[in-house]
Structure 1
Amino acid sequence: MRIGELSDKAGVSVRALRYYEEQGLLTADRSASGQRHYGEQAADRVQLIQNLYAAGLSSRTIAEVLPCVDAKVNTPESRALLSAERDRIDAQITQLTAARDRLDAVIAFAATPASGCAYQTA
């Protein structure tokens, strides 16, 4: 499939796909005229890349992990890297949960008639 088709199928911009290629995260074959052509699994790979970015992994870390994903093997080094990333994500989840709980408390307090919350939207 061509880059526009992959963009539509994966729900990402053409610019993002070109960036992934520059970072070595995604590969494409080139036609004689230079057009990119991606295999059928490219959309799945883009979704994986998007999920890893959403989890906060850097493009460098993703580039280190993807060969293990492609080969369906892992090494002690890749397990350590992934464990460290998982621990970072867990800490982030803990912080976000605490922030949400504080907001819930403020929302509940503000909903009481005598809360005195003076915040108004314009």
Structure 2
Amino acid sequence: MKIGQLSQHTGVPTRMLRYYEEQGLLCAERDANGYRRYDQGAVHRVTQIRGLLDSGLTTEIIAKLLPYLDGPGQIHLHPQCLTPELAAMLRAEAARLGARIDCLSRNRDALLAYLDAVQPSTSDVILSSTAR
């Protein structure tokens, strides 16, 4: 399939698909006219890449993990293949994600506290409308 078809199947813009290729995350054969041609497995691979990016992983880490992915949520990395460099990178990424989660939780709690402070609760609205 051509890049436009892959884009339609995955919902990922062609520009992003080219970026994935530049980063070594996605491979394409080239036709005689230079057009990219992807096999059917590219749809699954793009879906995996998208999910990993959405979870906050960098393209550098994704490039190292992709060879070991069989399906969503399944990493089959033999312990002997886990280099000290990759282990350190994964630990640092887990710590970065943890810090991000903490920050997002604090922001969510602050927004909810603000809304509770400035919006009357449902029971307050009901009481004020029946008092009239």
TM-score > 0.5 by shorter chain: yes
The 1:69/1:81 distance shift into structure 2, 3 A limit, reads: farther
**Equivalent-residue separation in structure 2 for 1:20 and 1:14 (angstroms):** 10
Q: RMSD value over aligned CA atoms?
A: 2.2
Q: Which amino acid aligns with 1:102?
A: A
**1:50-65 counterparts in 2 under 5 A?**
50-65=50-65
Query: Residue 118 of structure 1 aligns with which residue?
Result: none
Query: Residue 116 of structure 1 aligns with which residue?
Result: none
User: What is the deviation of 1:97?
Assistant: 0.9
- Does 2:97 align with 1:89? yes
- Equivalent residue pairs, number: 113
Query: Residue 46 of structure 1 aligns with which residue?
Result: 46
Q: Which amino acid aligns with 1:87?
A: A
User: What is the deviation of 1:80?
Assistant: 3.9
**Equivalent-residue separation in structure 2 for 1:41 and 1:79 (angstroms):** 28
- For normalisation by structure 1, the TM-score amounts to 0.78
User: What is the deviation of 1:46?
Assistant: 1.1
User: What is the deviation of 1:76?
Assistant: 4.2
User: What is the deviation of 1:3?
Assistant: 0.6
Q: Which amino acid aligns with 2:59?
A: S
Query: Residue 21 of structure 1 aligns with which residue?
Result: 21
SS at match of 2:69: helix
SS at match of 1:57: coil
User: What is the deviation of 1:36?
Assistant: 1.1
SS at match of 2:27: coil
**Equivalent-residue separation in structure 2 for 1:80 and 1:49 (angstroms):** 21
Q: Which amino acid aligns with 1:101?
A: D
Q: Percent identity?
A: 42
- Does 2:114 align with 1:106? yes
Give unmatched runs, 5+ long, in structure 1: 114-122
Point out the structure with max Rg over C-alpha.
2
**Equivalent-residue separation in structure 2 for 1:80 and 1:60 (angstroms):** 13
Which string of whole-angstrom CA distances, capped at 9 and with x for unpartnered residues, describes residues 37-85 of structure 1?
1111211211221222223322222222223337942514334432332
Query: Residue 119 of structure 1 aligns with which residue?
Result: none
**Which stretch of structure 1 is more off in the superposition, 10-19 or 46-55?**
46-55
Which string of whole-angstrom CA distances, capped at 9 and with x for unpartnered residues, describes residues 6-65 of structure 1?
001111111111111111110011122222111112112112212222233222222222
**Equivalent-residue separation in structure 1 for 2:101 and 2:76 (angstroms):** 28
